[in-house]
Chain A
Amino acid sequence: MVGLKFVGKIFKALRSASSPRQIAGGFILGMLIGLVSLKSLFSAVAIILILVLNVNVAMAASGYAVFRLVTWLVDPWLHTLGYSMLAEAAFLQPAWIYLYNLPLVSFTRFNNTVVMGGFTAYAVLVVPVFILIKRFVVVYRERLEEKVNRWKIVQAVKGSRLFEWVGRITGIGA
């Protein structure tokens, strides 16, 4: 039921009044929380931004969910990447030492290998993902929405009592 609700929320977001920019913005903020740890100050900042800025919350949740799964899958690689940046890249050491002794910065947990690996991956992926999501929303609304609605599986799901019941509770079907 949670999966169904989640998929419903994504579809709702795609056809909502939110602009493609807001949808993509929500997704990349969720992606940040997914890639770094929830215990990091990065995540706290991202959550505040999601709440304060006019970004799509559902897409932020989907961004978190997708990239939490990705992080779990590529965790050893992120650890290696973070370790090499924190412990092996000598030229970065002065920067880390400076940051380490700055107030509040240590709460980002940047000195953790997985957090650093995830944040590095985020820094590399954020712009391409933002552009891709934005484009996808436009293309979806222009060309794919009607086709997707005609899919038997979507109609079956929409017509089911369960979907109706879930929609009534959560307001997805509206």
Chain B
Amino acid sequence: MRKKGVVVLLIVAALFLVWTFFLSDRWLEKRLESLLARIAGAKVEIDGFDFSLFGMRMGWEALRFADAGDPWRNLFETGYCVLDLEPGPIFERKFIVEEMRLQKLRFDTARETDGTLEIKAKRKKGPSKLGTMVKDKLEAKLSQLPLFDTKTLAMNIDVEAIWRRLEPTSPAKITRLVQEYERFAEGLQAGLAGIDAEEELAGVAENIDAIDVESLDTLEEMQDALSRLDRISDRLEGVTQTVEQRGGELGEEIVKLENTSASVERWIEEDLARIGNEVKIPRITLENVAEFLFGRKLTERVLKVLKIVEKFRAVSAKIRRFVPVPEIPPRLRGQDISFEKGGGLPAVWFKQASFSTFTRDDVLIEGSLMDLSTGQHLTGKPAVLEAAGGMEGKRSIVLTGRFDWRESVPKDSLRLSMYDIILRDVFLTDFPLLPNTLKKGTASLDAGVEFTGEALEAGIVFLIEDVSFTLPVRESGTYVEQLIYEVSSSIAADIDDIRIEADLEILPERTSLAIRSNLDAIVTGRVDEVLQKEARRVTEQLAERIRSEVQLPRQELYRIAREAESQVSKRLSELERLQDEIEAELKKKRTRIEERIEEETVGKAKKEIEEQRKKQQEALEQEREEKERQLEEERRKAEDAIKSGIKSLF
């Protein structure tokens, strides 16, 4: 045994005691600030830290916890705080707080100095799985929520702006078609001039005239003339076919042109149809009106709650990591492996913490947080939050929470109930067609949110009674501003109470947001009626403008087409008339020649037969008369015989 050594040890022990009494508080304060700053990723300041080893008590006068996201604000700050520690677990390096009393807890307060941590935490942690999933899905939902923007509305009912966006194509297309028609009309003139049938027809007519039927004497001459007429007829037929073919060709071209003009109506219809796409006035229905009114605000609030739960869980998850993940620590630093799963006490356990805080409206809230620990599986108890408060001793705000991380799937729930909250000049919604600010009202709120693993379910019922709105100052500005003012004034006059119910569900497989309010029917009816009327007005104006733009070229188009058709028709009619005249003359001559031939051939034979028939008829008449005379004579003889017989009898 070395006596000198024992003396040295005693001196060291004495120095330690002196340090504990006089210097440990400042040292511990700095160590705690540094530890908490590493957790927060921003500065943490503690004032008046006091640690009593023998009394097993620690506390501070004030604590400011800077927000890493906004270093000029504190996440929270506290006033006086005292913690009663359990002495036994200290020797197991465990920090068990029997009771904690915290005063003047305030959230989101302004800082006087920059809270940025100069030496950042070495490992920058990303957002949790819960945070990423819920945030992504909520933001996706947020982006899907209908947006009602007055500027967009103004753009969407501004005829000039829509006309510029619309860029109707039909007037230009029709003008190009008119130019095509004009070129066609020029070509048509040449085409019609190219049908040179008059000369040919004149030659045919001369040939017909050259045949003098009456001067024909013999049957041979007549048959020869008839043959010439056949040849002339063939020639005429040829000319007719040529004219018909050319006429048909021109007709086809006109039909083709007319078919093209059928596209004109289609082009106009297409332009008119596009008006509907450009006049995008949001359709307000009962299903989506509440989303318009409160969707964004609700999802933003849920994201704020999510941030709190995420922070709680991050601390818990760090401690609950049973199976250590191998990491490469810095030299001589090593990695600490936790054996908390085996039982015993958790590393940190706040058995009971009571606190008092003030809201922004200076409403006093008092509450307690029970069993907040880094190892709920060891304590067997979930963290439970209970807080209540109100103005002038009234219990008008109740907040309860349960953070259960005992199983592998954490379950967190928060419920906030508020009653008889007097609202004055409260911003309600950014929906421009409703007065944004409540002048006064009495509100009640019952909101609950539950996180199970990465799933989220939230339900909110918000009631405001005796509502009175602050109407915006009327601006004699644009047409849209006046329209909005009129709509919002008219809606505001009809609202006495506001009741909003919302359900939000974010599961791995689906996200659903349902918001209902008693304003739905009022807003839907009034706003939709006005907006749809505006949409119809704008649509009609645009349609009218398109029609007036196309009117002249379309008329010109149809005029050229009609003229072309008429020219072709007139020309073909002329030629047809000429052909008909020649054909009639030809027919007349043919008939006359045929008569002459008949006279020469059939007429003579017929005369002879007639004469013979007449002779035969006369002979038969004489024979009949002779037979009648003989019969008359025989009858007379018979009568005489009868008469003489009768006489002989009498």
Name A residues whose Cβ lies closer than 8 Å to a Cβ of B: 37, 48, 50-54, 71-72, 75-76, 78-79, 82-83, 86-87, 93-94, 96-98, 100-107, 109, 111-115, 117
Contact = CB atoms under 8 A, between A and B. Distances in A.
B344 interface: yes
B9 A52 contact: yes
B8 A112 contact: no
Contacts of B645: none
Given A72-B331, A115-B334, A97 B5 contact: no
Contact of A100 (B2, B5, B91, B342): B342
A152 B320 CA distance: 64
Interface string B1-28: 1100110110000000000000000000
Contacts of A106: 92-93
Interface string B336-371: 111111111100000000000000000000000000
Interface in B300-330: 323-324, 326, 328-329
A100 B9 CA distance: 28
A87 B322 CA distance: 10
A86 B334 CA distance: 12
B333 interface: yes
Nearest to B4: A51
B262 interface: no
A34 to B, nearest CB: 11
Contacts of B324: 83, 86-87
A75 B5 contact: no
A115 B335 CA distance: 9
B92 A96 contact: no
A87 B324 CA distance: 7
A82 B334 contact: yes
Contact of B342 (A54, A93, A105): A93
B88 A103 contact: yes
Contact of B336 (A93, A98, A111): A111
A98 B488 CA distance: 71
A75 B329 CA distance: 10
Contact of B329 (A54, A104, A113): A113
Contacts of B6: 51-52
Given A71-B332, A72-B332, A113 B343 contact: no
A111 B1 contact: no
Nearest to A117: B334
A103 B91 contact: yes
A52 B9 CA distance: 8
Contact of A52 (B1, B93, B332, B336): B1
Given A83-B326, A103-B88, A96 B339 contact: yes
Contacts of A87: 323-324, 326, 337
A64 to B, nearest CB: 14
Contacts of B336: 109, 111-113
A53 B2 contact: yes
Contact of B337 (A37, A53, A75, A111): A111
Interface string B71-94: 000000000000000001001110
Contacts of B328: 76
B334 A52 contact: no
Given A52-B1, A53-B1, A104 B334 contact: no
A102 B92 contact: yes
9 contacts: A50-B5, A52-B6, A75-B331, A96-B339, A96-B342, A100-B92, A100-B344, A104-B91, A112-B335
Contacts of B339: 93, 96-97, 100-101, 111
Given A54-B2, A96-B339, A115-B334, 14 more contacts: A51-B9, A53-B1, A71-B332, A75-B332, A76-B328, A83-B326, A87-B337, A100-B342, A100-B344, A106-B92, A109-B336, A113-B334, A113-B336, A114-B335
A101 B344 contact: yes
B342 A97 contact: yes
B434 to A, nearest CB: 60
A171 to B, nearest CB: 16
B30 to A, nearest CB: 17
A97 B329 contact: no
Pairs of residues from A and B, 8 with the lowest C-beta to C-beta distance, nearest first: A97-B342, A114-B334, A51-B5, A101-B344, A103-B91, A100-B339, A112-B334, A106-B93
Given A106-B93, A112-B334, A114-B332, A101 B342 contact: yes
Nearest to A75: B331
Contacts of B88: 103
A54 to B, nearest CB: 5
Nearest to A118: B334
Nearest to B94: A106
A37 B332 contact: yes
A93 B345 CA distance: 17
A109 B335 CA distance: 10
B373 to A, nearest CB: 15
A115 B337 CA distance: 11
A111 B92 contact: no
Contacts of A113: 329, 334-337
B334 A79 contact: yes
A139 to B, nearest CB: 27
Contacts of A100: 92, 339-340, 342, 344
A107 B93 contact: yes
A51 B8 contact: yes
Nearest to A38: B332
Nearest to B5: A51
Contacts of A109: 336
Contacts of B91: 103-104, 107
